[in-house]
Structure 1
């Protein structure tokens, strides 16, 4: 793994605090207020006030802002001002953070990890040392969800009560104790309609039948109801209680980011083309054996971690790993035409269908091993299918996805 400046943050924290005290009001206070309030000027409704209040909580003062070609604003926020440290129980993480111990790979299985590339910094833009990039949330982002309490949260098959409208094509491992998961996914731009979303990801799950599910998740999704476009975006997600709380990315206190080079929620580019070049991202979630926290790496970049204190059952270990795709659609009669993956069925194979390859899990000794006993599951295989295989280069892999509505999927 290449050396990342992000991992030096804990040793320099006193310098960062001094830097913040001296400079952050000069750089950020006026612009921060203007960006979050001018869109609401003159509107005194209770709902608008609630939205403004919420924006002030999640949009932090910044040292620098970067306008991405896709219209996003990426704020470079001082490390210790990120949302996670709004939780008093996480403030101690500033001083006790240490570099995590990466999972060990068997020599004959070690390979290269595709780099993550995002649109906001393709032309060389970057955040200064001591800061992290956070995608700015606008009033419009919240208004599109029609619910401040649900903003940043995920509708899931594990909702309590369950949310209908979810369909999956996944490979699942449900026997054993797991301390992380890894996969390489190709990135597409599926067509997503209305309020639907389409996602390709890894789930690391602790699920005891009598208690709400705990998960940490990472992947890419297309979610126009949140982002106002159909671009594939990198995301991370967590919940400690069956999707009632927790959130995407840094949209609530929880995940602690240490990396200045990758922005959660920002669009990924380039993307795969049908019968053309394939672009991939390598995703790894693992439980650091020293701290007990759940860490995230994308490509060769260690992004940050979910503190163990956020969870109940996941404080210890996971008991299920899922790889693959999910589509959510509101029931409107006929089946949705929102696509999963590339929008093509898995039997079309490489260059045409979505895949997740080199499927691995982390064991209790912090070793990466190929998954075994992979179970395939799809609610409606004529809408979104899945198949699997094994090769020396790809290890265990799955192809998955589909177009949704078609003559065999009504």
Structure 2
């Protein structure tokens, strides 16, 4: 009997070979000896299998070192783990070691997150070949007409409620855990959006939108304020988000986007908290880009904002409204795309070399909500968009975007004109726009998902 470990690509398995690999040495003239040898071999195999069964039932045969995440359900019983699972966990640990950088300080957030304060030039962005050895850039000039008088003085991320902060020269990074990655179907798909992340037609898909957009010109940025909610997401693999998109290229494989806003994603974060997030892609969500700092790309410069961390407080139905301002614009001097969160807090930038079309300018700006409808129960999801209420309920009840603006070729903020509205499933989620002296261009949007008109 021959027992061998066989590897084929990413898979390994045990092969048991009972046929001799060489010519038998048993004398052919001795029939009794051959019969006896056969009987002994059968007995040995039986004893070996019996012992293997007994030992495996008494103690771990294939045990793992203690994982870094003590809450992982696989830690409860690690006996007899398939080799493929062992190989996967080994790759997960290698990936975690790559993206979880050494911290000079660690902060425990009330919601369970761990925030690592990482030296700025050690952040994931500087793993990129074109950024290795560099330092974060100095802040650029804001677009003309930018108003930062409404400076935020209150806490707006849960991890800061403890009073702890990251020291100068570091950035706060939400630590990724094994549980985070194991919720994804693979390491390759972890931290990435599926395709169809931008709405440009009314074709049905599992991604549904209620958005306002402008196109047909050259755009160098966008700005808006949007209120934050905690919409219910009914399936782990669905999400609900509200964001702005800066878009260029066709809607084929060369689509470039920069995205920022808030989202609820149980699959990505393991809970239903609304979280500040960013995203980028240069090939229509196929192989480039990621959420937050989960790949090399976005360069963070701020030590007060943790991308991917929970936002607090949130808006309440018929109660207090809490909104955040987001601005993305192209620095005329270096050509990089910068991100501002709140009033005057520069978060960082996407280097221009990451992109093809967005290296020069955007051809579309889009604002609004998006959900995933997996129809896991056989009917439309009850995942909410925004507040979970339709647009016509108005202020205090529906979710909104206000003071919609674009950045022009002269690095000036300008009000939007020719705003187009699109709700691809209006009986589930809808949108209504307007203008006022205080709110400029604005719109309400959202909905409950499944209802009598949205089966």
Q: What's the TM-score, normalizing by structure 2? A: 0.78
For 2:149 and 2:394, the matched residues in 1 are separated by: 22
2:428 to 383, 388, 391: 383
Partner of 2:403: 358
Aligned to 2:183: 144
Q: Measure, in 2, the Cα distance between the counterparts of 1:315 and 1:343.
A: 37
Bigger radius of gyration: 2
Q: Structure 2: give runs of 5+ residues left out of the alignment.
A: 1-64
- Structure 1, residues 132-161: CA drift from partner, whole Å, max 9, x if none? 0000000000111121101010124158xx
Instruction: Give the whole-Å Cα distance in 2 for the aligned partners of 1:112 and 1:37.
Output: 41
Secondary structure in 2 matching 1:90: coil
1:112 aligns with 2:156: no
Q: Counterparts of 1:269-280 in structure 2 under 5 Å?
A: 269-280=312-323
Cα distance in 2, alignment partners of residues 121 and 273 from structure 1: 21
* Cα RMSD (Å): 2.1
Matched residue, 1:238? 280
* Mapped partners of 2:414, 2:87: distance in 1: 53
Which residue pairs with 1:4 in the alignment?
none
**Partner residue in 2 for 1:398:** 443
Choose from 92, 114, 117 the match for 1:76.
117
* 1:92 to partner: Cα distance: 5.7
What is the SS of the residue equivalent to 2:92? helix
Cα offset, 1:274, TM superposition? 0.2
* Contact preservation (8 Å) 1:113, 1:282: no
Local SS of the residue matching 2:361 = coil
Which of 58, 61, 71 is the aligned partner of 2:102?
61
CA distance in 2, matches of 1:278, 1:112: 15
The structure carrying a bigger helix percent of its residues is 1
Deviation at 1:110, TM superposition (A): 7.3
8 Å Cα contact 2:121-2:134 kept in structure 1? no
Q: 1:37 to 1:265 in 2, by over 3 A?
A: closer
Change (3 A) 1:60 1:110: closer
Match of 1:228 in 2: 270
Q: CA deviation at 1:124?
A: 1.5
The equivalent of 2:243 in structure 1 is 201
Matched, 1:263 2:306: yes
Q: Does 1:175 align with 2:220?
A: no
Return the offset for 1:366: 0.3
Could you tell me how far apart the structure 2 residues matched to 1:55 and 1:313 are? 32
How many correspondences in the alignment? Answer: 373
Structure 1 unaligned runs (5+)?
Answer: 1-32
Contact map agreement 1:36 1:55 (CA 8 A) in 2: no
Partner of 1:407: 452
CA distance 1:89–1:34, change in 2 (3 Å) = farther
User: Residue deviations 1:319-365, cap 9 Å, x none?
Assistant: 00000100012133210000000000000000000000000000010
By how many angstroms is 1:178 displaced? 0.4
Pairs within 5 Å for 1:313-324: 313-324=357-368
Structure number with higher relative contact order (C-alpha < 8 Å, ≥ 6 residues apart): 1
Alpha-carbon contact 1:205-1:319 (below 8 Å) kept: yes
Secondary structure at the aligned position of 2:431 is classed as strand
d(CA) in 1 for partners of 2:321, 2:292: 26
Residue 55 and residue 230 in structure 1: after superposition, are their counterparts in 2 closer, same or farther (change >3 A)?
Answer: same
Rate the CA distance shift 1:113–1:357 in 2: closer, same or farther, 3 A: farther
